[in-house]
Every structure is written in structure tokens, then in C-alpha cells.
Structure 1
């Protein structure tokens, strides 16, 4: 019993480390962009693609990666994804041409899009539903929610003291250690249901639709929402996703079984996971710009400013998971979203003269508490009452919602900030701060709206405590097909 517990804890540490690494890569490169621009001679568009290529590869691969984990084996897809991620990180760190760096960033995203749903589904199928799974998802959420903020800090330190190549090469030893431990700690469980074929057309339309849609959103801050290029991308993305739904409705072996959305908890959690993570992703970028453009901080100091956010999330997410076991998922999730809204109101007081301790620090601390609580409970809700054979799919859906939400939040809030700044005339520290304040007020409204939506849409009792079916579920895992 003790050996099994130790192996389970070891597996959880491994999976959380992998998840943290994936999320770090969304922001770790941001602080290295000026150095990359100088060394490789990238244009502004090229720099944007260094960031966007990862998001496109990641978002486009999630649904396919999640279903592959269910059908081909979760450990297998976890390891294959890690190897793709690690090798492309090595290539990115050694890249001497801009096109190669952008291509390897896309490959990193594809690897991450395989790993992410495998990680979450490995957790939900390893730990039985209830207090044990909630505890595991609390630590998973801490790793996920703190990753973006910590990436800004680590990226600044590596760029200043080692060089921009280090923000990519740091992934290589992590992957080298994770792969052998995966074979030691993780069982390669996959769905034991009948195989009726693979939904290639569904996979193609889903991957293309999500990729094109995220591309359109990532281009909004640079080109504007009225740009023909942006509108064409958004329109094409929506059309492809409509085609995907039509394909799934007729497929005998769909990539996404549409009836899974009858699970009210899963559906509500996915919608909410577009809103609150979208707010947080945009706010980290808004504050990064504020600290550097308005306050004049260098990358390392700006990165250090986010350390409280990461530390608070690491504490808040596991605590929130325990509270959800005792009081229920719904009240903890609603309160978490409300706290995020309050945090945005506190941060909306930023100005050229505002002090870090008086405004930014308390705002980040509150955001860490709220987002830690929201992330942990929304993950529980999104995977609750889902059969083990579809945990990869459920994991892919919530990851896709978070990724699309982040792209949407950044596109909308950064565009609103820019519009407000431009409307004030000259581009000064005060006009920039005014734009950022406006974006933060909108972010507060979105977070509060998410809290209200959660109170209305989530079922009164999201399954989160050990129930009479737990023994049957453990038996199902033991009888699952294992390679």
C-alpha cells in the first residue's frame, strides 16, 4: 500500500512538472524577444510569430492529441509528445535563422498539444474520483496556473544571465529526465472499448479550424479587428469548426462524441474556461507592458514582479481543491471568479506614479488566490462524471477552451487598451496607463460575469467526493487494456 502511494505521488510530481514546463513556454520566450530580434534580425512580424507559432501548434493539436491518448495509450502519447517537445526545444536553442526558430516553435507547440491532454487524463484515471483526485488536480492546477507568471520571471533571468538560447535549451534536461521516469511511474492505459476506425476528416477539420481561429485572434493586436486578413482567418476558422461539427454528427467513430456535451458540468466548465483564463492571460501581458513601458523596468525586474502571483497560486490551488471536497466545487469556483474580478479592479488603479506595493502587489496576490481557486475547481468540473475511456477527450476539451480563451482575451483586451491609448492623442506614459486601466476594468467585468454564469450554469452538486461507484471505477482501470 505504501509503495503504491509513493508511486502515485511520484507520478503526480512528474506530471505536474511536465505541465509546468508546457505552460512556462507560453511566456518564457517573451522576455527574450528583444535579444532574439537583435541576434537573428527578426522583423516585428517575425517576433510575433515566435510567440504565435507555439500557440498555433499547441491549440491545433489538443483535440487530436487527447483522443490519441485515449485510443493509443496515455503514457505512449505523453512520451512521444515529450520527445517532440524536447527535440524541437533543442533545435530552437541552436537555431541560427529566423525561419528555423519559428518552425521549431510550432513543433514545440505540437509536442505540447500531445502532452497536455495526456497529463490531465493520466491524473484523472490514476486517482479515483473524489478527495484523492481533487487533491491531485489541486497540485496540477497549481503547476498550470503558476506557469505563465513564472515563465516571465525565469525568461528574464535566463536572458539576462545566460542568453536567449537558454529559454529553449532549459527544456532539454527536463525532458531527458522525464522520459525514463514516465516508464517507471506511469501505466500505459488506454480505452478498452471497441475500435471502429479513426475519424480522419474530423481530425483534419478540427485541427485546421482551431489553428486558423487562434491565428486570427493572435493577429488582432497587431492588425486590428477590422483587418481583412484577420476577418478572413476568423471566418475560415468558424467555417471549419462548423464543418467539424457536421462531420462528427455523422461519423461512426467521432473524434469528439457530441453527446458528451450533455454533461452539464463539463459543458459549463469549458465555457467558463474560455473566460477567466482569457482574463488572466491578457492581464499578465498588460502588466508586463505596463511595468516596462510605463514604469521603465528592465525584463528581469518586470519578471520578478510576477513572483507573488506564482507563489500564491501554488498555495491557493491545492487549498481550493480541499475546500471543494468539503463544500462542493460550485461555491469555490464562483468565489474564485469573483476574487479575480476584485483583483482586476485593484489593478485598474495603475498609473505612472502608482507604487508596486500599493497597487500591483495586492492585485497580483488577489489574482493568485482567485485564479488558483478557479483553475482547480474548473478542472474538477470539466472532468467530473466522465468515463475513463474519454478522459483524454475531456482533458483536450478543457485545454482547448483555456487556449482559445487566452488568445481571445489577449486579442480583445490588448486591442481595447491600444484603442483607448490612441484615442487620447500623444503616446505618453499617462495615455499608455489609461489604456491599460481601461482593459483591466473590462477584465473585471468579464470575471464577474463568469462568476454569475457559474452560479447559474453549473449543477448544484458537481460530483467531487468518493461515491459508491469508486470501487467499480478502480476495477475498470485494472481491467483496462495495458501495453
Structure 2
């Protein structure tokens, strides 16, 4: 069964719908984090149980992304996106009415599965909608803005909803959004047919990579600040690595591999995803450490912290939607990446000097603004590189690779920065600066100028 060309009904309307779906997935994650104290108090969850309200979603989402992206290429990305929104919306309803912690955690796993289905194909659908270079860069910058700014919006919105209507409202607000996405998605997104199962239905390989990524994400998360601090996290990480190595061996021998290893000979794809992993890892750690500093040192409330992040989101939006796409087209993604990473390094360098009794306006605000500029440049440029050469037949897989790099990188970066922060905030921020230096060296060593 061959691929059927997509008769696009309205590229801009389709992009708006995809961006809304991505925003819902991102807002849910950060909104739930803000609501955790209320969840703990009402359902009587202990610390380890409470962590699964977050980890259950992250493990399912991060572990299933790659498999879901490939399934999207095989059976049709529109079908997979709408199925994911349906699963995510139904699971949100269960979360909103959950009477026990066990039901809530199970529903969060289901939410993660739905999020992986929908999220794995979003960028892939966008690059098919906009095959032209300039239009494709513009579409990617829109999605990059949503990804970068959505977390701040979710933290503010989740705090406001929890304070006004209780923690259940953080989940129930997804119902009307999800229903609207399903209704308009069927009308706006043009039908398409995938390449067919025979083009790469390696189900055993899919099981290996899914289990490996799940164990890796879970193990890295347990290495973080809320982990048990025992032998378990290294065992989980080690088991995940073993399964991923087995997956690579399987792909090298399979007749129809789930993930053709030849893709990684592309410096743009490999380098772009590696840079995303390092940068998102630094960003996750930044958000975690700055949130703690604002609340525990400067005494800001949750709502005030969310408002502080809104400024960073505004800067990201201004750079991403205003300048990034023009700079990428004119100077190339490689040059924009280097400029963005340099700005990020300045931000972390400023925070390394943060005093114990500092102030927001002088010690934190400049770093948040500069890092907003950095994210507005790096994320669209790295995503554009990772999607270089994407065709309709493999855009879902490439999109999922990009998402997987961000998920694993974010979990690892948070664990690393939080571990160093145990010796003081300055050490945590210094670790973030090292991640950005590594990303810059990778750009210089791997990415050629002609990829820009």
C-alpha cells in the first residue's frame, strides 16, 4: 500500500489545530505539577505514590513516542493524532473524577499514552503541510514557541484553576478542548493513508524500544531530586540501556526495521536531536532551580512565580515568532544555534553569581529574559535541523525522534542539575552552563554550514 498525497484543506487552520493540541499536552503536565499538594491532601498519597502522578505520565509519554511516531507513518498521521487526542481526553475525565490514588495514577498512564500518540506526529504533520523551506521554518517556529512557552502558561493556569476550583479542574478543563480538537480535526485535517504495515511493522523492535525508553526515563527521573536515592535508579537506567542496545542490534538485522539506522548518517538529524537533548535538559533544570529559588529564597508565591515565568514566555514568543524564522532563513540554522547557545550561556553565567539573599529584578529577571532569547533561537533552529530531509513517508518517525530527544534530555538534565544543586544553587547553574558548552561544541564539530 503506497502513500497517498495529502490534499491539504487549509494549511494554516491545520497548523493552528496542531499547535492547540500540543499546547494542551504541555499545559497539562505543568498544571498538574502545581496541583500536586492539593492532590496529596485530598487523596492521602504518600511521597512515593504522589511522584507517580507525574512519573506515570512521563514514563508512558516518553517511552511510547518513537513507536507511535512510526505507527503514524504506517497507518496515517491524522488517524494517530485524533486517536491520541481521544485517549488523552477520556483519560483526563477519569483523572478528574478519580476517587483513589491508584485510579488517578492508572489514568495518568493512559494520558501519557494518548499524549504520545498525538504528540509524536505533530511536527511531522506540520512539515508535510508546509513543504516549502520558508513556510516550513515558519511552521516549526510556531510549534517551538508553543513547546517553550506552554510550560509557563500551564504553571500559571494550573495554579489559578487549582486555587479557584480545586485540583480536579486541571484535568477536567481538557474535556472541552479535546472535544473541540476532535470535531474540528476531522474537518480541518485532510485524510491521508500511510505507507502500510509492510513498510516497517517491526513489532518486536517496537516492544524493545518502548520498554527501554520507559525504563530509561523512569530511572533518570528517580535519579532526580525526588528519587529514592537507592540502588534502584541505576538498575532501571542500566536495564533501559541494555534493551535499547538490543533494539539497535535488532534494527541492524531486521528486514523492515522500525527505525532505519541509516537515518543517523545525517549530521543534521543526529546533531539537531543531540543539541535539543542538551538544551532542553538545561532548560528543565533551569526551571526547577529558579522556581525553588524564587519561592524558598525570595519568598514568592506559586502564582507570583507563574507570573514571573510569563515574562520569559513573552520573550520566547517575540523571538521565536518575530526574528527566529528570518534569521534561520538568512544566516542558517547552524549560526542561529550558536548565537542562541551563547545567549543561554550568558544566562546561566549570570545565575552562577546569584547570592543567598538576592532580589528578583537584579539577580533573576535578566537571566530569565536572556534565556528566553536563547530558547526562542535554539529550539526552532534545532528542530529545523532535526527535520531536515523529512519526507511524507518518515516525517512521523522524525517528529517522534525529536520529541524523544527532548523527553530524555529533559529528564537527564533535571537529574544532573538537581544533583549538583545539592551543594548550592550556584553549582546547579554551573552544571547547566556545562551542558550548553557541550551543545555548542557539538554544533561546531558535527553540523556543517551547508545544513543551515
TM interval, short-chain normalised: over 0.9
Task: Structure 1 unaligned segments of length 5 or more: list them.
Answer: 421-434, 464-483
SS of residue matched to 2:451: coil
Q: 1:379 aligns with which of 356, 377, 383?
A: 383
- Change in 2 beyond 3 A, CA 1:51/1:225: closer
Q: CA RMSD in A?
A: 1.7
2:415 is the counterpart of 1:448 = no
Q: 2:355 aligns with which of 351, 355, 361?
A: 351
2:219 is the counterpart of 1:230 = no
SS of residue matched to 1:461: helix
How far apart are the structure 1 equivalents of 2:210 and 2:35?
29
2:333 is the counterpart of 1:329 = yes
- Change in 2 beyond 3 A, CA 1:386/1:8: closer
How far apart are the structure 2 equivalents of 1:99 and 1:289?
29
**1:69–1:190: 8 Å Cα contact kept in structure 2?**
no
Alignment partner, residue 432 of structure 1: none
**1:160–1:300: 8 Å Cα contact kept in structure 2?**
no
Provide Cα deviations, 1:456-479, integer angstroms capped at 9, x if missing partner.
21121226xxxxxxxxxxxxxxxx
How far apart are the structure 2 equivalents of 1:162 and 1:349?
40
How far apart are the structure 2 equivalents of 1:349 and 1:177?
47
Alignment partner, residue 198 of structure 1: 201
**1:196–1:252: 8 Å Cα contact kept in structure 2?**
no
Provide Cα deviations, 1:87-112, integer angstroms capped at 9, x if missing partner.
11111111111111111111111111
2:287 is the counterpart of 1:284 = yes
| CA apart distance, 1:196 | 4.5
How far apart are the structure 2 equivalents of 1:196 and 1:288?
46
| CA apart distance, 1:6 | 8.6
**1:206–1:241: 8 Å Cα contact kept in structure 2?**
yes
**1:313–1:368: 8 Å Cα contact kept in structure 2?**
yes
Provide Cα deviations, 1:200-235, integer angstroms capped at 9, x if missing partner.
110000000000011001101257697310111011
SS of residue matched to 1:29: helix
Q: Taking structure 1 as the reference length, what is the TM-score of the superposition?
A: 0.89
Q: Size of the alignment, in residue pairs? A: 445
| CA apart distance, 1:296 | 2.2
- Runs of 4+ residues deviating >4 angstroms: 222-226
Alignment partner, residue 92 of structure 1: 95
How far apart are the structure 1 equivalents of 2:418 and 2:74?
39
Q: How is 1:62-461 mapped onto 2 (pairs within 5 angstroms)?
A: 62-192=65-195, 195-196=198-199, 198-222=201-225, 227-318=230-321, 319-418=323-422, 420=423, 435-461=424-450
- Change in 2 beyond 3 A, CA 1:324/1:225: farther
Task: Structure 2 unaligned segments of length 5 or more: list them.
Answer: 1-6
SS of residue matched to 2:450: coil
Alignment partner, residue 50 of structure 2: 47
| CA apart distance, 1:376 | 0.4
**1:224–1:415: 8 Å Cα contact kept in structure 2?**
no
Provide Cα deviations, 1:250-282, integer angstroms capped at 9, x if missing partner.
111111011110111001011111100010011
